[in-house]
């Protein structure tokens, strides 16, 4: 089986390697010269995929290309391109449209096209289908197969990877679902059939929205629990002992990555076409996006209590990625937080084993590589990402003043949890 993966990023590359390992002939197409050149030179740009993994793919015959003509024809085409927000905060499907154009030109009778990019329910049928039919002259469900299969990749997760995470497939027709099931059954352990593409699209957004809303719930609780003198972290620890009906979510400095801050907007966009808002998502968005400001205020308050103004204070940010133990900085809340601290005159530096250089609004932020020296220098340390490289007890011992946004540092007079 010949498989083309369009978009070789956090979603496409892990899929490509799994398909190669399952014995399929895989080509990767990406519009980025840099990414394609890197992969062909054996370099991975994605967390969880090592250079050795890329070497293994190349040895098994994988090729990456920016040349559409060199990419086809194919039995299966999987679209894994970005779905960001437009300036008006609505869906930006330009990459999906462009990739669909590529797929349409490369598909032949009997090809399966699977969309993995997260988008609002109806995208596969209303956006992808007409473009494919126009470019190919074939009809979906008769001449070729079309399905949506949401990616559930969890970067940095040591237990669940592509293979052992159940894969949802929803086709335009039952035959499309059959074709998608037959393909994905070769590369992952369990395939879950959705009623149609719309339910598969909705399932993905439901998963993301569920996390978004629950994180907002605990973030809002964190703010009022502090005023009520309640240790929310301890309350969550206690509540989490209930063996049923409760799942623990934890407060933090804000949400990052793609799935939480961006994807639920795709759903609220779709709901708004009905003439009313999706209030839960919009409220969650508002609460989560306010967290960097809240952390800045807490930092200022803490410094003030120790007779230090923010203006001129040396503030060290620990962990500036959006998630622990990965290098991805997309939508990281560390950036708005640093922006706010800088605007108040703080001298901001950062330490992060995964981030060699870091900019905020085009300005480089000073990187500290010697953790102990950085901790000793700082008037205030803010723990943003509890990377495994950070020993919480050591941080408590070495920092003069510490704001712990992850609730992992042991209690001490100079340590404050969010
Ligand atoms: N990163 C995650 O953890 C994750 C998890 C689940 C779902 N998703 C979804 O998967 C989709 C892809 O996300 P990602 O994180 O892999 O993005 P990414 O930015 O890491 O990778 C996308 C790749 O597509 C390429 N590209 C853009 N336009 C193209 C085109 N027209 N043709 C070919 N290549 C093109 C880019 O150069 C890039 O290499 C998004 O819809 C995202 O919401 C991401």
Q: Is 241 a residue whose pLDDT tops 90? A: yes
Residue 11 CA to ligand 1 centre (angstroms): 6
Residue 116 CA to ligand 1 centre (angstroms): 9
Torsion of the alpha carbons at 34, 40, 46 and 48, rounded to the nearest 10:
-170
Q: Is 92 a residue whose pLDDT tops 90? A: yes
Report the alpha-carbon distance of residue 355 to residue 377 in Å, rounded: 20
Q: Is 89 a residue whose pLDDT tops 80? A: no
- Does 323 contact ligand 1 (Cβ within 6 A)? no
Average pLDDT over residues 148-174: 93
- Does 258 contact ligand 1 (Cβ within 6 A)? yes
Best probe residue, ligand 1, of 4, 5, 6, 11 (max atoms within 8 Å of C-beta) = 11
Q: Is 91 a residue whose pLDDT tops 80? A: yes
Q: Are 37 and 65 in contact (CB under 8 A)?
A: no
The pLDDT-based confidence of 285 (bands split at 50, 70, 90) is very high
- Does 12 contact ligand 1 (Cβ within 6 A)? yes
Report the alpha-carbon distance of residue 339 to residue 333 in Å, rounded: 10
Q: Is 38 a residue whose pLDDT tops 90? A: yes
Catalytic site includes residue 188: no
Kindly report the average pLDDT of the chain as a whole number. 95
- Does 14 contact ligand 1 (Cβ within 6 A)? no
Residue 16 CA to ligand 1 centre (angstroms): 13
pTM beyond cutoff 0.85: yes
Average pLDDT over residues 123-132: 98
How does pLDDT run across 39-86, given as a tens digit for each residue? 999 999 998 899 999 999 999 999 999 999 988 778 999 999 999 988
Best probe residue, ligand 1, of 65, 116, 151 (max atoms within 8 Å of C-beta) = 151
Residue 276 CA to ligand 1 centre (angstroms): 30
pLDDT of residue 48: 86
pLDDT of residue 122: 96
């Amino acid at each position: 089986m010949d498989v083309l993966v369009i978009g070789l990023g956090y979603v496409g590359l892990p899929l490509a390697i799994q398909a190669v390992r399952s014995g399929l002939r895989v080509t990767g197409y990406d519009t980025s010269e840099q990414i394609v050149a890197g992969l062909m030179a054996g370099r991975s740009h994605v967390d969880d995929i090592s250079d050795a993994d890329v070497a293994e793919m190349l040895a098994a015959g994988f090729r990456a290309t920016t040349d559409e003509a060199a990419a086809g024809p194919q039995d299966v085409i999987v679209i894994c391109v970005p779905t960001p927000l437009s300036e008006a905060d609505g869906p930006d499907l330009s990459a999906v449209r462009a990739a669909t154009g590529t797929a349409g030109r490369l598909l032949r009778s009997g090809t399966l096209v699977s969309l993995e990019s997260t988008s609002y329910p109806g995208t596969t049928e209303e956006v992808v289908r007409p473009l494919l039919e126009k470019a190919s002259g074939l009809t979906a469900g008769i001449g070729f197969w079309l399905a949506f299969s949401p990616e559930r990749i969890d970067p940095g997760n040591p237990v669940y990877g592509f293979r052992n995470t159940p894969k949802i497939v929803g086709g335009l027709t039952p035959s499309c679902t059959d074709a998608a099931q037959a393909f994905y059954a070769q590369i992952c352990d369990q395939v879950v059939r959705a009623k149609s593409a719309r339910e598969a699209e909705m399932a993905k957004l439901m998963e993301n929205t569920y996390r978004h809303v629950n994180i907002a719930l605990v973030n809002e609780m964190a703010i009022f629990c502090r005023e009520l003198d309640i240790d929310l972290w301890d309350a969550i620890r206690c509540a989490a002992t209930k063996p049923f009906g409760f799942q623990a979510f934890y407060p933090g400095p804000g949400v990052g990555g793609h799935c939480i801050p961006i994807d639920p907007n795709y759903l609220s966009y779709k709901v708004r076409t009905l003439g009313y808002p999706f209030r839960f998502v919009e409220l969650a968005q508002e609460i989560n996006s306010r967290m960097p400001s809240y952390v800045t205020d807490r930092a200022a308050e803490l410094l003030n209590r120790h007779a230090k103004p923010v203006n001129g204070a040396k503030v060290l940010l620990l962990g500036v990625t959006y998630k622990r133990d990965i290098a991805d900085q997309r939508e990281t809340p560390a950036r708005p937080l640093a922006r706010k601290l800088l605007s108040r005159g703080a001298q901001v530096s950062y330490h992060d084993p995964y981030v060699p250089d870091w900019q905020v609004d085009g300005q480089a932020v000073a990187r500290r590589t010697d953790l102990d020296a950085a901790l000793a220098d700082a008037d205030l340390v803010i723990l943003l990402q509890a990377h495994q490289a950070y020993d919480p007890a050591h941080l408590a011992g070495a920092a003069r003043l510490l704001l712990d946004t992850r609730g992992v540092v042991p209690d001490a007079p100079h340590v404050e949890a969010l």
